Structure 1
């Protein structure tokens, strides 16, 4: 009988400890789940031939996307199917919060530009930039209303014969010729971060 009481006490102790551990796991897991649902970080990786990017910034996971700039070029400006001086185009980045239960604040950044041709220019929001990084962070909100997406439109152009003087034009022609034949792929990363908006 004494063995049964001792075994019963040990079982209760184990049951109490297991219950406490389960409760702690439930509370910490629920808090982590809530944060994960409303804070999202997504990455897109691009190279010099981009088309379109779509990020679901509310889902709490990281995703890499590789795209090509040549697919966004005006086809009649391509040189042997490649971007070169005189080519241009545009691409869009779609940020979606359609599955989010809250409004989303987004921050979009361009990082790690490598092998960028010197004279390619980018246009965003009616301003011209020498690089994607120069655009800086693009910040906005997607409210809980009926429109659950934001579309960021970026135009690009690799102008032919750039410069304000004859000497500058000649120097840039030499740079453009060299870069259009020798550069590796122009690559960069896109980072989209979504958090719960206030």
Structure 2
């Protein structure tokens, strides 16, 4: 009988352990918990870029003429001529600031006595043609750079005469390159 009691006790013990495991599994799978899933979207709106020089996005023309120079054919220049031309730069439709550089090339095609100046009085001769002028335009802003020029009569008579003798009626051209680059963004300070 003692063996039978042990057998029942052992069976009851095993049954109790089995019921505990089954109950734990059932309760573990059926326990309630809060769950929330939120879905969002990301977006990026690109700032608009727009840069123009003298109204053009690819090219523009400038002619060196002096309408006040007496005794010279219309739309031609000779020693004693002077004038200026404007480069109107626009970032009016841009949503970013612009750093600009104005550069000249091919100026060796022009008469050797012809000089460019950054001031109307002719005190500051432009000698660095890779960066005739540089500056910044704010987003949605505009800026005008005026370049002055003159062909003084105090230059070399030999060179001036050679330029006039070689003149074949065709315009002597040089290139004006205006480059607009997005202004480098400044770092936003950490909050």
Pick the TM interval, shorter chain.
0.5 to 0.7
Q: Is the 8 A contact 1:97 1:104 kept in 2?
A: yes
Task: Please give the alpha-carbon distance, in whole angstroms, between the structure 2 residues aligned to 1:121 and 1:136.
Answer: 15
Q: Check 1:121–1:113 CA distance in 2 against 1; reply closer, same or farther (3 A cut).
A: closer
Q: Is the 8 A contact 1:107 1:140 kept in 2?
A: yes
Task: Please give the alpha-carbon distance, in whole angstroms, between the structure 1 residues aligned to 2:54 and 2:80.
Answer: 28
> For 1:123-162, what aligned pairs fall within 5 Å after superposition?
123-125=117-119, 126-129=123-126, 134=129, 136-144=131-139, 148-162=141-155
Cα shift readout 1:166-190 (whole Å, capped 9, x = no counterpart): xxxxxx1122122123235221112
* The structure with more strand, counted as a fraction of residues: 1
Runs of 4+ in 1 over 4 A off after TM superposition: none
> For 1:100-111, what aligned pairs fall within 5 Å after superposition?
100-111=94-105
Cα shift readout 1:116-174 (whole Å, capped 9, x = no counterpart): 101011111451136xx5363522111136xx111111111111132xxxxxxxxx112
Task: Please give the alpha-carbon distance, in whole angstroms, between the structure 1 residues aligned to 2:173 and 2:96.
Answer: 34
Could you say what the CA RMSD is over the residues aligned between the two structures, in angstroms? 2.9
> For 1:28-107, what aligned pairs fall within 5 Å after superposition?
38=49, 54-55=54-55, 63-70=58-65, 73-77=66-70, 79-81=72-74, 82-107=76-101
The residue aligned with 1:117 is 111
Q: How many residues align?
A: 135
Q: TM-score, normalised by structure 1?
A: 0.57
Task: Please give the alpha-carbon distance, in whole angstroms, between the structure 2 residues aligned to 1:77 and 1:128.
Answer: 25
Q: TM-score, normalised by structure 2?
A: 0.59
Task: Please give the alpha-carbon distance, in whole angstroms, between the structure 2 residues aligned to 1:141 and 1:122.
Answer: 22
Task: Please give the alpha-carbon distance, in whole angstroms, between the structure 1 residues aligned to 2:148 and 2:132.
Answer: 16
Structure 1 SS opposite 2:164: helix
Segments of structure 1 that go 5 or more residues without pairing to the other structure are 1-30, 43-52, 57-61, 163-171
Q: Is the 8 A contact 2:101 2:132 kept in 1?
A: yes
Task: Please give the alpha-carbon distance, in whole angstroms, between the structure 2 residues aligned to 1:122 and 1:179.
Answer: 17
Taking CA–CA contacts closer than 8 Å with sequence separation of 6 or more, which of the two structures ends up with the larger relative contact order? Answer: 1
Greater Rg, structure 1 or structure 2? 2
